Structure 1
Amino acid sequence: MIHLPHLVIDLGLILGSAALTTLIFKKLKQPLVLGYLIAGFFVGPHFHFFPSVSDEANIKVWAEIGVIFLLFSLGLEFSFKKLMKVGGSASITALVEVIGMLGLGYGVGQMLGWSTMDSIFLGGVLSISSTTIIIRAFEELGVKGQKFAGLVFGILVVEDLVAIVLLVLLSTLAVSQQFAGTEMLISVLKLVFFLVLWFVGGIFFIPTLLKRTRKLMSEETLLVTSLGLCFLMVILATKVGFSPALGAFIMGSILAETTQAEKIEHLVKSVKDLFGAIFFVSVGMLIDPKMLVEYIGPVLLISAVTIIGKMITSTGGALISGQPLKSSVQTGMSLAQIGEFSFIIATLGLDLKVTSGFLYPIAVAVSALTTFTTPYFIKYAEPFYNWLEAALPEKWSSALKRYSSGAQSISVVSDWQRVLRGYIVNVLIYSVILLAITLVASSYLRPWVERNLAGNGYATIATVALALLVMSPFLWALAVRQVHSDTTAKLWQQSKYRGPIAILRTSRLLVAVFFVGFVVDQFFAFYVALLATLGILGILLLFTKKIQRFYDKLENRFISNFNEREAKALEAQARRDALAPWDAHLASFEVRPESPVVGRTLLELGLREQYGVNVAMIERGKMMLTLPDKDERLYPGDKLDVIGTDEQVKKFSAFLEPVSREDEPQRKSEVVLRSYEVFGGSHVMGKTIRSSGIREQGHGLVVGIERNGNRILNPDSTLVLQEGDIAWIVGNPKRLPALFRVKEKKEIKS
């Protein structure tokens, strides 16, 4: 008789039950995650009507693989560039929400008489919202094109990164069993060090590898290569003391910057879905009905705290960041749940044996309850806002509108801020690279030399020389390379900035001296190291041109790899911007072959007159038509970026019958909606919109003017721009700021 391994039988039970429950949940239009949890309960040890999984240890291994694939997929959707572009509103809102929920969770845990570690982990569980559930709810309710959705997706991107930091900090806290400030600071610095190192190294090598092997890459080999890189980073992260999930997330975010990102994401999706299902089923296996009955009070209390707390903290954070009341309320009511990261945090507490057994099933129960309520809160967010606006005193409403309008006005970054920020980034990146080379030389290269070349007097000198040779381009970049050279030269002409600039330059040189001395000191006596350091710095200055040429090649390779995805894809798709005070924002649509707009010009359609929307851009294959002419015809497959209010976009959507795109909220854009204040002495002040050069020079379209508290939507081209006006413009963010900067004194005199 043939004997089946227990693992095969267990997988059959897991996938069979998961298939049955998810079909039911699909029919009921409920999130599939809940179906997986219930499937896990059915095959778990606490439910005996069906056969139970016999070897839970193996399932935990498969669940760990599931976590790795979940975080790898999140990394593919994350992208460091998206984080840099996510904007201040999303970052502020996410941080306010996370900090608020950490405090609320800890407070509720203490109120219930739980231990300190249980309370801390409860705060971590409640602090992160569910990306999966929110995306699904937005798709089902058809609100992905609305203004607040872009802000929500930005918040989720920031929360993903915060969750990774939380995993590291909670692991450190669990090991030390006390809140040790020094250890936490060391953990954060260690995380920053490896994040910068892995990101810089990954962007430098991996896109080049994929590019040079492109002809050899079939779908099969690309999938295997991607997963191989993922698990290599998992191993590396584990070796340096981080969780496997962090390694998977980092590799996913690195691959997200390559031109193959979408293809990798598509190839990995099926594998991720399989192992993700196993992970969520394994979560459901730990649900103990007796424990849920025993802790039904805390479950209901924590669910209420989660919903109300997230609504208040998210809404408050959005208001603080300058969002209008409507968008803030919709954002807060969309984020009122916990999900997949909460399970991972709760699992971490169990694995480290620092949390009680009841925390995990409570987290699952709270997630299930808040998942059911999420679609209803999103659906009724706008009616709630209407009631709230009517109930608020007029004085409060006016104050919120003034604050929102003022907070969203773009202020020009000063030259000094640009230079200071450039110096800080310069020192941080090159210090990380030099420290990494130093650690490799002292921890690996030196022992290898001593072990294999003992007694050779030149071995030590060769080791130091090799380390310094590798470090030389980065030492030059740290100590000598100019940062924002034109801006720095401009500031140097002003006497008040000469002292600070000299201090910045000196500090960079001292950091470079430290690294040279540190390396040499590993192998020689202090005085020898001091003399050698001075000599090496002299050599750097002597061969500065050759080193500069070599460094320029390295930098150009990095920048080329970093921007390759944008350059190759030619994607200039409009990002939803949550800036417009009258609710105007960018939304994206695709023209179907049967759409009534096919073959007609924009003039014939009269979209502005009928629906109040403006077409900001048309993407046609690899061709991009920014601010298209009125005689431009629309064809099947055209991707339109239009600007309008939620109501206008909704009407236009019904007319056009758009096709939503999954990556729509995170699309890169060369066209955005922003506000610019007209200052006295600026290039546009005193000119009409037509003669200001906004369209011709800035590639922009003025869609609104705020003047003395009044709003003018779609102003006439003959309107004269006055000092103090706030112009809302859709256009190229790189060209427009120059038109609104104040002219130099020489220009004004002339």
Structure 2
Amino acid sequence: MFLTAAAPSVTPHLQPLISDLGLILITAGFAVLLFKKIKQPLVLGYLIAGFLAGNHFDFFPSVKDTHSVEIWAQIGVIFLLFSLGLEFSFKKLVKVGGTASITAITQIITMVALGFIVGKLMGWKNMDCLFLGVILSISSTTIILKAFDELGVKAQKFAGNVIGALIVQDILAILMMVLLSTIAVSQQVSGSELFYSVLKLVFFLTIWFVGGIFFVPTLLKNAKHLLSDEMLLILSIALCLVMVTLAANVGFSPALGAFIMGSIIAETTQAEHIENLVKPVKDLFGAVFFVSVGMMINPDTLVDYAFPVVILTLVVIIGQSTSSAIGSLLSGQPLKQAVQAGVSLSQIGEFSFIIATLGLSLDVTSDFLYPTIVAVSAITTFTTPYMVKLGTPLSVLLEKKLPRKWIKNIQNYSANAEAIKTVSTWQIVLQSFLFQIILHSIIIIGIIVLSTRYILPLVEGSKFGHAVGALITLVIVSPFLWALSLRKIAVDEVSELFERRKQRGPIVVLIFFRMVLGLFFVGFILNNFFSPGIAFLALIGALLAYFIFPKQLHARYHKIERHFLSNLNDREIAKEKKTRRDLTPWDGHMATFDIADASNLAGKTLEELQMREKIGINIAFIKRGEITINVPSRNERLFPGDEICVIGTDFQVKKFKKYLDQNEIEAPESVEESDIVLQHLELKNESFIGKSIRESQIREKTSGLVVGIEREGRRMLNPDSHLILEQGDILWVVGDKKLLASLAKGKLN
């Protein structure tokens, strides 16, 4: 009976979706084998496979149901962006620093403008030109990383700068996709609409990231012992699709949601494992996406638009290389590294396809733009390895051909850009206040929106429902209201400024503004649930509760904060246990500390303490009463009341401070300006050339210590005293200001 009932459901022919998928994968498989054999990027193989399986090639079986393939391709975009997010993480954006940011922003601004201008010169309509500019501005992460692996240059300094620039490009590409969607819908560039779109994006990114970091790592951590690889894969994809749905519901691209969830999971300790599990799924659907891109290639269109393809290829290769190199120079990179980074970024790839697809799906770009971009991408993909190889000889050629004065100015600018910059007390205070106000305001507004949407409708018409709803909302939002209005921020810096009479007014205004903003949010919440009169009475009661229970709110907020920071730093802490972070003196600054009377370090020599070996900091001077010991020797002892000045990176100084706190050392309330400074010196004195650091007697002549050397763009931390000095070396020395100045002028022999 069972077999009889089931028989009618069996069809003699395969559904078009299955046969089309089989054709795509078979064609892609053979293309991949061929391109692997000839050592070319696999993406090109997928594009050619798509062309063969498409309707524009008559001598090969063609895909029948293109609509279904488009759906598979959309799923491919989601998994590509999810995987990209897994490799990204927002903390990487902070770590790449100004160098990568300046390089990426300079490149993108230049290429968007250049692409728009070139499009207009070719007579294209405005929307085509705008999409063209954005498409040409984004380099290909996949192609570059593959080229770096094949050429074995991934460990070189310039490669790190390129990868950092790609990280910044990816997040800016997401932002530009949102802005392009807004412009495409309105068909005009409206400043107010763009501003609203950016604010909306920042709001939801903050809410999703904060909420995601708070809940997702906790879920994965608590369920770790229950999850097999299969279940972890399913859970990860489920989280991805949940965020995709949320993004689509608030008007963003599904790809944005996938990227955000990937970046959230990237902060967990299981990120690498999840990335490996998702990779086969990403590869499968990614292949379908790239094949679908190849299916759009129309030979007739390419023949008709051969001239634009050639022009745009030259624009990408020359424009990307030049703008990226200039951006690297502006960020302070030496000429060689800037040129190497520039030529490495001279192609377009997967993000360009995604943005071109966006234009087609919104029906705002012409049909010829997509295949033209695919052709340009294919050509620049082929040229990428050769451009990377060209970096070193091109930089050597430029060093020979450019005027000597230009080369010297570039070297000096690079050294000056890396010099340690001081941050004023007011900058620290303003940054802290702005961060607290913006972050907690976004969280509070998010809670209010959820309350208005989900709690308020439930209590409508209920006798006591409004009071219960308002109470629930206030309880949830209370720790964040306390942090916004009453939490102490930058305590030491605020105290320092408050001691100066002229600075008290602005500090009081900042504190008052925070309290008024918190009061406004409380009143807004109550006004949603009550009439104005009752809301005012409830506001007084709420304020009394906030001032009566500050300790409880403080404890509750810090419990939430500790949980968030624990989830945020779990992966980093786990990595730190395995490998010690490589740090350089160009990331650092000078900091001063006092030796407390009861310090455990008092009476010990610097050799016994081994601070440099354990933590990586250097001691610039020890001030003992009226006596200052510049660059103390390893036999120097620390005594109670000594003031010591150390030089190190933010990470090293933070670690050193923790080490000092454990030994009862306190930071001084104020620091007098010292004669000991960290300064870079270009080696001009011929008497030093060919000598080791020890033989040059720089330490004895300047009462200083060589803490780093820059040589041909390569930087060395804590160089060995036997290292031979060479012409053109830039030395980083901590020592007496006057003696260093004399050495720089060549007055010391």
Identity of aligned residues (%): 51
Cα offset, 1:487, TM superposition: 2.7
In structure 2, what is the equivalent of residue 617 of structure 1?
none
Cα offset, 1:689, TM superposition: 7.1
Pick the aligned partner of 1:438 from 413, 424, 448: 448
Q: Cα 1:679–1:51, aligned 2, differ >3 Å: closer, same or farther? A: farther
In structure 2, what is the equivalent of residue 486 of structure 1?
492
In structure 2, what is the equivalent of residue 558 of structure 1?
564
| 1:289 maps onto 2:299 in alignment | yes
In structure 2, what is the equivalent of residue 55 of structure 1?
65
SS in 1 for 2:529: coil
Cα offset, 1:529, TM superposition: 2.9
User: Residues 130 and 340 of structure 1 are in contact (CA less than 8 Å); yes or no, is this contact kept in structure 2?
Assistant: yes
Q: Cα 1:76–1:675, aligned 2, differ >3 Å: closer, same or farther? A: farther
| 1:504 maps onto 2:504 in alignment | no
After the TM superposition, which of the residue ranges 88-97 and 497-506 deviates more from structure 2?
497-506
Cα offset, 1:387, TM superposition: 0.6
Q: How does 1:410-425 map to 2 (within 5 A)?
A: 410-425=420-435
SS in 1 for 2:13: coil
Q: Cα 1:684–1:280, aligned 2, differ >3 Å: closer, same or farther? A: farther
**What is the distance in 2 between the residues matched to 1:572 and 1:413?**
30
In structure 2, what is the equivalent of residue 146 of structure 1?
156
**AA matched with 1:303:** T
User: Residues 679 and 723 of structure 1 are in contact (CA less than 8 Å); yes or no, is this contact kept in structure 2?
Assistant: no
SS in 2 for 1:234: helix
Deviation track 1:460-492 (CA, whole Å, cap 9, x = no partner) reads: 111111111111110000000111223322332
**What is the distance in 1 between the residues matched to 2:282 and 2:81?**
9
In structure 2, what is the equivalent of residue 389 of structure 1?
399
In structure 2, what is the equivalent of residue 538 of structure 1?
544
**AA matched with 1:427:** I
**AA matched with 1:219:** D
**What is the distance in 2 between the residues matched to 1:626 and 1:403?**
32
In structure 1, what is the equivalent of residue 672 of structure 2?
none
SS in 1 for 2:708: strand
What's the TM-score once normalised by structure 1's chain length? 0.81
SS in 2 for 1:241: coil
Q: Which runs of no fewer than 5 residues in structure 1 stay unpaired? A: 581-624, 630-669, 733-738, 744-750
In structure 2, what is the equivalent of residue 136 of structure 1?
146
Pick the aligned partner of 2:467 from 461, 467, 470: 461
SS in 2 for 1:522: helix
**What is the distance in 2 between the residues matched to 1:91 and 1:410?**
18
Cα offset, 1:524, TM superposition: 2.4
Q: How does 1:630-709 map to 2 (within 5 A)?
A: 686-687=630-631, 706-707=680-681, 709=683
In structure 2, what is the equivalent of residue 85 of structure 1?
95
Pick the aligned partner of 1:167 from 155, 161, 177: 177
Number of matched residues?
644
Pick the aligned partner of 1:514 from 516, 520, 525: 520
**What is the distance in 2 between the residues matched to 1:431 and 1:238?**
24
Deviation track 1:339-363 (CA, whole Å, cap 9, x = no partner) reads: 0000000000000000000000011
In structure 1, what is the equivalent of residue 591 of structure 2?
none
After the TM superposition, which of the residue ranges 425-434 and 681-690 deviates more from structure 2?
681-690
**What is the distance in 2 between the residues matched to 1:330 and 1:11?**
41
| 1:477 maps onto 2:457 in alignment | no
Q: Cα 1:230–1:425, aligned 2, differ >3 Å: closer, same or farther? A: same
Cα offset, 1:8, TM superposition: 1.1
Pick the aligned partner of 2:699 from 710, 716, 719: 719
Q: Cα 1:317–1:495, aligned 2, differ >3 Å: closer, same or farther? A: same
**What is the distance in 2 between the residues matched to 1:114 and 1:724?**
63
Cα offset, 1:525, TM superposition: 2.9
In structure 2, what is the equivalent of residue 524 of structure 1?
530
Cα offset, 1:206, TM superposition: 0.8
Cα offset, 1:90, TM superposition: 0.4
**What is the distance in 2 between the residues matched to 1:242 and 1:314?**
29
**What is the distance in 1 between the residues matched to 2:124 and 2:702?**
61
User: Residues 620 and 735 of structure 2 are in contact (CA less than 8 Å); yes or no, is this contact kept in structure 1?
Assistant: no
Cα offset, 1:495, TM superposition: 2.5
Cα offset, 1:457, TM superposition: 2.0
| 1:728 maps onto 2:734 in alignment | no
**AA matched with 1:486:** D
**What is the distance in 2 between the residues matched to 1:683 and 1:356?**
76
**What is the distance in 2 between the residues matched to 1:74 and 1:394?**
43
**What is the distance in 2 between the residues matched to 1:98 and 1:156?**
11
**What is the distance in 2 between the residues matched to 1:677 and 1:151?**
30
User: Residues 334 and 374 of structure 1 are in contact (CA less than 8 Å); yes or no, is this contact kept in structure 2?
Assistant: yes
In structure 1, what is the equivalent of residue 134 of structure 2?
124
Cα offset, 1:29, TM superposition: 0.9
Q: Cα 1:16–1:99, aligned 2, differ >3 Å: closer, same or farther? A: same
User: Residues 585 and 707 of structure 2 are in contact (CA less than 8 Å); yes or no, is this contact kept in structure 1?
Assistant: no
Q: Which runs of no fewer than 5 residues in structure 2 stay unpaired? A: 1-10, 588-609, 637-644, 657-677, 710-715, 719-732, 738-749
Cα offset, 1:575, TM superposition: 5.3
**What is the distance in 1 between the residues matched to 2:316 and 2:188?**
26
Q: How does 1:289-368 map to 2 (within 5 A)?
A: 289-368=299-378
Deviation track 1:397-428 (CA, whole Å, cap 9, x = no partner) reads: 11111111001112132232122111111111
Q: Cα 1:412–1:503, aligned 2, differ >3 Å: closer, same or farther? A: same
**What is the distance in 1 between the residues matched to 2:340 and 2:217?**
39
**What is the distance in 1 between the residues matched to 2:438 and 2:619?**
32
**What is the distance in 2 between the residues matched to 1:721 and 1:356?**
70
Q: Cα 1:156–1:378, aligned 2, differ >3 Å: closer, same or farther? A: same
In structure 1, what is the equivalent of residue 267 of structure 2?
257
**What is the distance in 2 between the residues matched to 1:347 and 1:678?**
61
User: Residues 79 and 256 of structure 1 are in contact (CA less than 8 Å); yes or no, is this contact kept in structure 2?
Assistant: yes
Cα offset, 1:708, TM superposition: 5.5
**AA matched with 2:127:** M
What's the TM-score once normalised by structure 2's chain length? 0.81
Q: How does 1:169-188 map to 2 (within 5 A)?
A: 169-188=179-198
User: Residues 426 and 478 of structure 1 are in contact (CA less than 8 Å); yes or no, is this contact kept in structure 2?
Assistant: yes
**What is the distance in 2 between the residues matched to 1:356 and 1:112?**
14
Cα offset, 1:728, TM superposition: 2.7
Deviation track 1:562-603 (CA, whole Å, cap 9, x = no partner) reads: 1111223424454587969xxxxxxxxxxxxxxxxxxxxxxx
**What is the distance in 1 between the residues matched to 2:627 and 2:290?**
58
User: Residues 147 and 578 of structure 1 are in contact (CA less than 8 Å); yes or no, is this contact kept in structure 2?
Assistant: no
In structure 2, what is the equivalent of residue 7 of structure 1?
17
